[in-house]
């Protein structure tokens, strides 16, 4: 019996500030750049029993070679290596992404290879061996290389604050947050949905019944790991 296992380390930054006019101009420029990327039509997760896949459906108006950028979170293994993501386009192998560090990051295909996409529907899939699920939050696809980059500036600033012990209130008392239908007595906690977290750190794995699981986490700042079991046996 195989069940899904999910763990999440939450780091929260909720403070907001009014944008100055110069910041607003930068935001407009970012929107214009984003318009050069192809929209993601749908996202799904599948498995073939050996690999788990995260699939992004892209609609292409013109066949050709396209750059691709990925915002992803690799796991660090016991031997010090990180997750390798196998890449497929419409079921055909198209390269590998080999991160050399942890945490959320912008990544491209090894060798910055471009993807050949056909006119119409294309499915870009990233795969990792079972039990790990690919932690890929978003992708950008464009014929313009600069358009597929994800900026990590805000994220790096967030990590720097966390390493210096700067913490932020969640504002969980705000009535705008919707309490979930999970009973409050479960695990002695109250659960909420639609909480505006800026960043989360998580991994999704599937394990066979009876397997022993050992988790480790390190941080200079105080943090919590939530372990959640979900899904049904497959």
Is there a single domain that holds both residue 124 and residue 70?
yes
| Average confidence (pLDDT) over 164-176 | 58
Q: Is the domain of 162 the same as that of 90?
A: no
CATH number at residue 72: 2.60.120.260
Q: What are the tens digits of pLDDT across the range 99-117? A: 999 889 999 999 988 999 9
pLDDT attached to residue 217: 72
The sign of the dihedral angle between the CA atoms of 63, 65, 71, 75 is: positive
More confident call, 216 vs 50: 50
80-84, 146-150, 208-212: segment of lowest average pLDDT: 208-212
- Same domain as 127, residue 69: yes
Whether residue 16 has pLDDT greater than 50? no
Label residue 164 by pLDDT band (50, 70, 90).
Answer: confident
Q: Which of 5-9, 19-23, 68-72, 168-172 is the most confident on average?
A: 68-72
End residue of a domain, out of 82, 116, 149? 149
Q: Are residues 124 and 178 in the same domain?
A: no
Sign of CA dihedral 58, 135, 109, 102: positive
95 and 41 inside one domain? yes
Asked whether residue 98 falls in the same domain as residue 178, the answer is no
pLDDT value at 180 more than 50 = no
Q: What is the average pLDDT across 133-162?
A: 89
Total domains present in the chain: 2
Domain shared by 28 and 133, yes or no: yes
Lowest-pLDDT choice from 25-29, 77-81, 184-188, 213-217: 25-29
Q: Of 118, 149, 180, which residue is a domain's last?
A: 149
Phi, psi of 156 (to 5 degrees): -65, -40
pLDDT at residue 25 greater than cutoff 90:
no
Which residues constitute the domain of residue 121?
Answer: 21-149
Asked whether residue 200 falls in the same domain as residue 161, the answer is: yes
Same domain, 206 and 109: no
Residue 21 has pLDDT above 70, yes or no: no
- The yes-or-no verdict on residue 232 having pLDDT over 70 is no
Q: What is the pLDDT of residue 234?
A: 57
Whether residue 167 sits in one domain with residue 144: no
64-72/105-107 β-pairing: antiparallel
Q: What is the pLDDT of residue 153?
A: 87
Domain check: are 173 and 143 in the same one? no
Query: What's the pLDDT at 8?
Result: 42
Q: Lowest-confidence range among 11-15, 31-35, 68-72, 119-123? A: 11-15
Average pLDDT for 28-46: 70
Domain-terminating residue out of 149, 181, 201: 149
pLDDT higher than threshold 50 for residue 23: no
Confidence of residue 190 (pLDDT cuts 50, 70, 90): low
Are residues 59 and 34 part of one domain? yes
Where does the pLDDT of residue 205 fall: very low under 50, low under 70, confident under 90, or very high at 90 and above? confident
């Amino acid at each position: 019996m195989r069940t899904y296992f999910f763990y999440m380390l939450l780091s929260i930054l909720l403070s907001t500030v009014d944008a100055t006019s110069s910041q607003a101009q930068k935001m407009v420029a970012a929107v214009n750049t984003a318009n050069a990327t192809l929209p993601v039509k749908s996202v799904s997760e599948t498995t073939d029993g050996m690999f788990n896949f995260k699939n992004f459906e892209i609609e292409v108006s013109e066949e050709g070679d396209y750059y691709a950028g990925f915002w992803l979170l690799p796991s660090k293994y016991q031997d010090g290596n990180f997750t390798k993501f196998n890449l497929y386009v419409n079921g055909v192998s198209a390269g590998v992404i080999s991160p050399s560090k942890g945490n959320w990051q912008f990544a491209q295909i090894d060798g910055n290879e471009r993807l050949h996409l056909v006119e119409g529907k294309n499915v870009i899939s990233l795969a990792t061996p079972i039990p790990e699920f690919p932690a890929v939050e978003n992708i950008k696809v464009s014929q313009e290389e600069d358009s597929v980059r994800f900026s990590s500036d805000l994220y790096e600033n967030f990590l720097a604050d966390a390493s210096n012990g700067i913490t932020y209130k969640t504002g969980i008392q705000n009535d705008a947050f919707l309490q979930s239908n999970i009973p409050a007595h479960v695990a002695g906690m109250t659960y909420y949905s639609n909480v505006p977290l800026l960043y989360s750190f998580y991994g999704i794995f599937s394990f066979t019944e009876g397997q022993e699981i050992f988790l480790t986490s390190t941080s200079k700042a105080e943090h919590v790991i939530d372990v959640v079991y979900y899904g049904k046996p497959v």
